[in-house]
């Protein structure tokens, strides 16, 4: 057992894109849209968090290889009941980058929750409507072709 030996695999261009959603109260979505979040711009903070997380995936998931990433791109879209986040990762590597994309999108979503949690809590300090859902890889490519 252990890490997969990728010594004999060629270094090729690889990319993966992951997506996920955080469901929020309408008032929270409005405050994000109007730039009224107390901690600052949640998209800017979540973007930096996602980039850092993607670069550190090998430290978080034991069997992942350390991959020098060429780019991590994070995008946000306000939707009626929350935010959709996408994370695209590219590298020249011997192994894929889908775990990096998944970790990036997951940490972006967790960061968004942290930025707005004061708005989402109910009277008992719970989060009855807040949830993170639909995290998945929507695209994976190797050497310019789907892998």
Burial class (CB in 10 A: 0-12, 13-18, 19+), 116: buried
pTM of the model: 0.94
Number of domains making up the chain: 1
32-36, 87-91, 139-143: range with lowest mean pLDDT: 139-143
5 within a domain of the structure (yes/no): no
7 within a domain of the structure (yes/no): no
Which residues are the active-site residues? 114
76 within a domain of the structure (yes/no): yes
* CA 129/CA 34 separation, integer angstroms: 21
3 within a domain of the structure (yes/no): no
Residue of 126 and 146 predicted with greater confidence: 126
3-state SS of the chain: helix, strand, coil percent to 5? Answer: 35, 35, 35
Q: Give the domain extent around 89.
A: 12-146
Instruction: Give the pLDDT band of residue 36 (cuts 50, 70, 90).
Output: very high
106 within a domain of the structure (yes/no): yes
67 within a domain of the structure (yes/no): yes
6 within a domain of the structure (yes/no): no
Angle subtended at Cα 96 by Cα 92 and Cα 100, rounded to the nearest 5 degrees: 95
- Does the CA dihedral 104-109-112-114 come out positive or negative? negative
Q: What is the CATH number of the domain that holds 60?
A: 3.30.70.640
């Amino acid at each position: 057992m252990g890490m997969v030996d990728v010594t004999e695999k060629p270094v090729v261009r690889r990319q993966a894109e992951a997506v996920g959603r955080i469901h929020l109260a309408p008032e929270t979505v409005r405050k994000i849209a109007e730039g009224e979040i107390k901690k600052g711009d949640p998209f800017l903070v979540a973007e930096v968090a996602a980039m850092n997380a993607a670069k550190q995936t090998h430290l978080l998931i034991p069997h992942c290889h350390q991959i020098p990433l060429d780019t991590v791109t994070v995008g946000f879209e306000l939707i009626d009941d929350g935010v959709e986040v996408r994370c695209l990762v590219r590298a020249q590597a011997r192994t894929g980058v889908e775990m990096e994309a998944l970790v990036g999108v997951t940490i972006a979503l967790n960061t968004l929750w942290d930025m707005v949690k004061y708005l989402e809590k109910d009277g008992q300090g719970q989060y009855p409507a807040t949830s993170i859902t639909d995290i998945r890889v929507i695209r994976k490519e190797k050497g310019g072709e789907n892998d």
